[in-house]
């Protein structure tokens, strides 16, 4: 469990930013990962709950999701694309969904996150506040360069809402976190495809050759070769479903 040196709940974003810029100060969102963390490095927690970072707004065909919006709130929001609602639901059990936030999910970058894979195929852009201003970065870049979030606060996530999407997954049991999951979205300029369980974070891949650059790590849930096999089968299944084939 995280060793907490101090807890602070800033009332405005400027105060929050000046705190997270200090050594060993980290943002606290839902706390589901921070409180379960086995890393015993002492941390100062900067609770974001009093900042206005919650809510889902639609504008210009896009959806802006505040970073403190919980997975439960996304699941219940009728403006959210079906794939985003479905993956918010399957990410965590109901007791944690009401606490865990989209900002915390992105910052955690869990390899098995179906929500992150779904956000990737919905062209998610992450807005991060840093001491030198705001930057908006494609989610894929945030995942490959987590240092972009150092001493920063994720403010919101913008996603495209058009197109049709499918998610196919294989787990040890239906309720278990999938070993591999594939999310695919068909939109006017082609397909986007993202895969979980095959790299340190969920990754966007080429839908025509989804496993070409993947080198998954083997673990007790599945060998590397098995994960590649699953990714190929699930990828073609999502494409078949989108094309109306069985």
Ligand X SMILES: Cc1cc2nc3c(=O)[nH]c(=O)nc-3n(C[C@H](O)[C@H](O)[C@H](O)COP(=O)(O)OP(=O)(O)OC[C@H]3O[C@@H](n4cnc5c(N)ncnc54)[C@H](O)[C@@H]3O)c2cc1C
Subset of 118-137 contacting ligand X (CB under 6 A): none
Among 13, 21, 98, 110, binds ligand X (CB under 6 A): 110
Structural tokens at position 105: 């999910």
Q: Binding marks (x or -) toward ligand X, 77..96, rule CB under 6 A?
A: --------------xx---x
Give yes or no for residue 154 binding ligand X (CB under 6 A).
yes
Contacts 24+ apart (CB under 8 A), 199-204: 199/111, 200/109, 200/111, 201/109, 201/110, 201/111, 201/113, 201/116, 201/143, 201/144, 202/111, 202/113, 202/114, 202/116, 202/117, 202/120, 202/143, 203/120, 203/140, 203/143, 204/120, 204/121, 204/140
Give yes or no for residue 203 binding ligand X (CB under 6 A).
no
Give the span between the Cα atoms of 214 and 237, in whole angstroms: 19
Q: Which is nearer to ligand X, 103 or 222 (CB)?
A: 103
In angstroms, give the least distance from the CB of 242 to ligand X: 25
Q: Which is nearer to ligand X, 74 or 239 (CB)?
A: 74
* Among 155, 120, 110, 158, CA closest to 140: 120
Give yes or no for residue 66 binding ligand X (CB under 6 A).
no
Among 10, 66, 81, 103, binds ligand X (CB under 6 A): 103
Give yes or no for residue 104 binding ligand X (CB under 6 A).
yes
Structural tokens at position 223: 């060998």
Q: Binding marks (x or -) toward ligand X, 35..54, rule CB under 6 A?
A: -x-----------x------
Structural tokens at position 55: 């809510």
Provide the binding-site residues for ligand X, judged by CB under 6 A: 26-34, 36, 48, 67, 91-92, 96, 99-101, 103-105, 107-108, 110, 112-113, 149, 153-154, 177
């Amino acid at each position: 469990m995280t060793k907490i040196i101090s807890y602070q709940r800033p009332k405005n974003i400027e105060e929050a930013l000046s705190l997270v810029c200090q050594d060993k100060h980290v943002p606290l969102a839902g706390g589901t990962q921070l409180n379960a963390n086995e890393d015993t490095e002492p941390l100062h927690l900067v609770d974001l709950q009093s900042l206005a970072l919650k809510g889902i707004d639609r504008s210009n065909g896009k959806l802006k999701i505040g970073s403190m919006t919980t997975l439960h709130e996304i699941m219940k929001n009728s403006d959210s694309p079906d794939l985003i609602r479905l993956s918010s639901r399957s990410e965590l059990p109901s007791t944690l969904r009401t606490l865990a936030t989209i900002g915390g999910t992105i910052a955690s970058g869990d390899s098995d996150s179906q929500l992150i894979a779904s956000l990737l195929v919905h062209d998610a852009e992450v807005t991060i506040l840093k001491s030198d201003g705001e930057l908006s970065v494609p989610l894929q870049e945030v995942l490959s360069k987590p240092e972009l979030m150092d001493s920063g606060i994720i403010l919101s996530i913008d996603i495209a809402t058009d197109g049709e999407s499918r998610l196919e997954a294989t787990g040890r049991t239906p309720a278990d976190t999938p070993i591999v999951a594939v999310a695919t979205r068909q939109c006017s300029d082609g397909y986007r495809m993202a895969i979980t369980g095959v790299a340190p974070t969920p990754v966007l891949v080429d839908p025509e050759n989804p496993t070409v650059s993947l080198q998954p790590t083997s673990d007790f849930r599945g060998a590397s070769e098995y994960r590649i096999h699953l990714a190929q089968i699930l990828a073609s299944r999502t494409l078949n479903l989108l094309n109306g084939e069985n």
